[in-house]
Amino acid sequence: MDLLSHLKELSALPGLSGYEHSVRETIRAAWAPFVSETHVDQLGSLWATKAGSGKAPRPRIMLAAHMDAIGLMVTQIVGEFLRVTAIGGLDARVLPGQLVCVHGKSELTGVLAAPPAFLLPKNIADGVVPLSEILVDTGLPGDKLAEQVKVGDVISFAGPPCELQNNLFCAKSLDNRAAVAVLTVCMEQLQNRIHVWDVVAVATVQEELGTRGARTSAFSIAPDLAIAVDVTHGSGPAVKDLPDRTFPVGGGPTLGLGPNIHPGLCAAIQAVAERLEIPHAIEPLPQHSGTDAWAIQVARAGIPTMVIGLPLRNMHTPVEVLSLKDLNRAGRLLAEFIASLGADFMATLKYD
């Protein structure tokens, strides 16, 4: 698999929270060669099952990566412009001037435009322009715009991806299409490995709105173990003094540790990383991990859960940046850990 091409394809698709159908079938096509069956649940999450070699009934591990993306929704048509609200968390500081795609009767290219400061209310004229004051300009006159777009239509970011120096990649929606690509790498590597456990890779829906797809998937699949793969904050000049909250882009994946994490599972994965000399860092997660793991951990009677993070700069903007090396490392780590799982692993897993 060409990881760069795969990631470009995934990040280019809209697939906003609650509207993931446009990206789901692309993921299904990418995963299908590596699994025995795929399934879409009633909420829209995609499950891909790779059977293990152990004696049935086999233990099962769930790998979760959310496929939904942040974006916008039309709230009002004002003449030749659109007013919008957010789907998921957006950084309003970077919105003016961004290219977008309006998904109406047809796809319309637009730009997010902010009025000049002297036309804004005085109390916000000198600060960040709030989303309530930002307009979408498609270039259509009002009557034509109203024919093509209605209230409730969604809008995705449309800036092109680009390759940066030092094996870095910049695009929209890398939170969390990058983690979906990690699961693809993992399953591809498992093609050449014997693994006792069944593996269920899940591209979950609506994580940005409250980990909804992870909640229903974990309840239905009832895995013995679960690992959520997501992005975490990458370090940079403005955040270099936050060593417990940001991590070097290109320095390897992070391994979460905190109340949302089973410590024995974290230790087992860390041991595999150290044995294989895969660069990694421990990420303190003292409260809410902000990932699908939050919902998975408390499904049914409780599921031993882990979080693997990909350092990402500019999170929740249309110009997210990460390292392709980190994706490959995370995918390899997952595959090697799964291949190391024996049929009796759960009997040896201790919480303290």
* Stated pTM of the model: 0.95
Span 234-252, average pLDDT: 81
CA atoms within 13 A on the CB side of 105: 7
20, 207, 208, 320: the active-site residue: 207
Give tens-digit pLDDT for 168-190. 999 999 999 999 999 999 999 99
Give tens-digit pLDDT for 109-154. 999 998 877 777 777 767 788 898 899 999 999 999 999 999 999 9
The answer, yes or no, to whether residue 259 has pLDDT greater than 80, is yes
The answer, yes or no, to whether residue 241 has pLDDT greater than 80, is no
How far is it between the farthest Cα atoms of the chain? 72
Domains assigned to the chain: 3-69+172-348 (3.40.630.10), 71-157 (2.40.30.40)
Span 17-40, average pLDDT: 97
d(CA 221, CA 181): 21
**How far apart, in Å, are the Cα atoms of 317 and each of 60, 70, 103, 156, 306?**
35, 9, 19, 12, 26
Give tens-digit pLDDT for 62-102. 999 999 999 999 999 999 999 999 999 998 888 999 999 99
Annotation marks residue 320 as catalytic:
no
